[in-house]
Amino acid sequence: MGPPVLESEIAALEERIQRLLAAYQQVRLERRRALQERDRLLTLNTELRKRIEGVITRIKTMEQSEQAE
């Protein structure tokens, strides 16, 4: 094998590569979860917006019927 210093440097580089790969995989997982949460919140926001619009429509209808009386 090569000199001990070179071997220890290679081992240190391999360890660093493994840490970087693990960190990269973690970031990808967190990004995927963040995108899923974003999509869930966008869907919820759309649903709530529709419900609010429905409530506003009912209130306007009630107000119009009260004015007609």
Give the chain as a DSSP string: ---HHHHHHHHHHHHHHHHHHHHHHHHHHHHHHHHHHHHHHHHHHHHHHHHHHHHHHHHHHHHHHHHH-
Instruction: Return the ∠ at Cα 67 (arms to 62 and 69), rounded to 5°.
Output: 100
What are the sequence ranges of the domains in the chain?
1-69
Provide the residue-wise pLDDT of the chain in tens; the chain has 69 residues.
Answer: 567 889 999 999 999 999 999 999 999 999 999 999 999 999 999 999 999 999 999 999 999 988 887
pTM for the full predicted model: 0.66
Owner of token pair 């209130």: 59
